A and B are shown apart, each in its own frame.
Chain A
Amino acid sequence: GENVEQHPSTLSVQEGDSAVIKCTYSDSASNYFPWYKQELGKRPQLIIDIRSNVGEKKDQRIAVTLNKTAKHFSLHITETQPEDSAVYFCAASKTGTASKLTFGTGTRLQVTL
């Protein structure tokens, strides 16, 4: 089955700096890659997703890039703010089983003042 690895497990950045979280996947048939943000005690929230027919997608301060050849995708957050502090999860799935998301182990992002 699919295996998703996520790095780093913790990341501390200063407010205003950029943060990058990387994930690799094993199943070359995977074609849907969402990112979720989970604040302490709250539900995971979808912040951005990308499908394998595009290489990059951007939404304000958040961007995701996908390298199908290398089977890795990354989340980029620019101009970080304290409210960006949370655990971020990457996930992968494939058409027909998109509900069966395989999640990475999460990255705890801490944005310090």
Chain B
Amino acid sequence: KAGVTQTPRYLIKTRGQQVTLSCSPISGHRSVSWYQQTPGQGLQFLFEYFSETQRNKGNFPGRFSGRQFSNSRSEMNVSTLELGDSALYLCASSEMADYGYTFGSGTRLTVV
């Protein structure tokens, strides 16, 4: 089985722009969650989607949003980028939606 695929791997954006990141879960996995990883804050939960519905949300501002499509692929959008949004954004998927999350390799976003 192919793993969790995230695109693009690297991205450089300017402050104020918006960005969309993509995640393709492992085939058969219906739960997709997103995390932000930074040296200062560590790994922080953004949100989770299951069957196209957002089930859980972390403590991030409304500039961070996401969605999930009927094929379980998910996208994450960040609007009005700030320098502090520079981070590794990780997507994880699970078949059972209650444990065993497998992470993708992430998208490294740099905001300049």
A71-113 to B contact mask, C-beta < 8 Å, 1/0: 0000000000000000001010001111111111110000000
Which residues of the partner chain A approach B98 to less than 8 Å between Cβ atoms?
Answer: 32, 95-96, 98-99
CB contacts under 8 Å to B, within A12-55, are 32, 34, 36, 42-46, 49, 51
Complex contact B99–A43 (CB within 8 A): no
Complex contact A101–B45 (CB within 8 A): yes
Across the interface, A102 reaches (CB within 8 A) one of B45, B100, B101, namely B45
Q: Which of chain B's residues has its CB closest to A44's CB?
A: B103
Which residues of the partner chain B approach A42 to less than 8 Å between Cβ atoms?
Answer: 105
Complex contact A99–B103 (CB within 8 A): no
Report the Cα distance A48→B33, complex, angstroms: 19
B41 shortest CB reach to chain A, Å: 9
How many of B's residues come within 8 Å of A, CB to CB?
27
Q: Which of chain A's residues has its CB closest to B46's CB?
A: A100
Report the Cα distance A32→B100, complex, angstroms: 10
A51-66 to B contact mask, C-beta < 8 Å, 1/0: 1000000000000000
Complex contact A100–B99 (CB within 8 A): no
Complex contact A46–B101 (CB within 8 A): yes
Which residues of the partner chain A approach B58 to less than 8 Å between Cβ atoms?
Answer: 100
Report the Cα distance A36→B105, complex, angstroms: 13
B45 shortest CB reach to chain A, Å: 5
A66 shortest CB reach to chain B, Å: 14
Which residues of the partner chain B approach A97 to less than 8 Å between Cβ atoms?
Answer: 55-56
B residues near A (Cβ < 8 Å) are: 4, 31, 33, 35, 42-45, 48, 50, 55-56, 58-59, 90, 92, 94, 97-106
Q: Can you report 15 A-B residue pairs in the complex whose CB atoms are below 8 A from each other?
A: A1-B59, A32-B98, A34-B101, A43-B103, A45-B103, A46-B100, A91-B43, A95-B98, A97-B56, A99-B31, A101-B35, A101-B45, A103-B43, A105-B42, A106-B42
